[in-house]
Amino acid sequence: MIYQLALPFLFTMIIHAADSMSYALRLGGMRTRRITIAISLSGMLLLLSRTSNMAQGPLLGSMIDSARESGGGSIQMGLHIIILAAAVGTMIAILFFPTTVRWSARMVVHLEKAGSIPAMMKSLFHFSKVKNAWSYVCLPRLSMMRQLVTGGLPRRLMLLNMIVTAIYTCGVLATLYAAYMNPQQAVTLHNQQGLSTGLRPFFSLC
Domain ranges of the chain: 2-140, 154-206
pLDDT at residue 149, as a whole number: 64
171, HSE (Cβ side, Cα atoms, 13 Å): 16
Assessment of whether the complete model's pTM goes beyond 0.75: yes
10-residue stretch averages of pLDDT, the chain, 206 residues long: 78 87 82 78 79 81 78 76 91 88 80 74 70 74 70 74 80 81 69 60 50
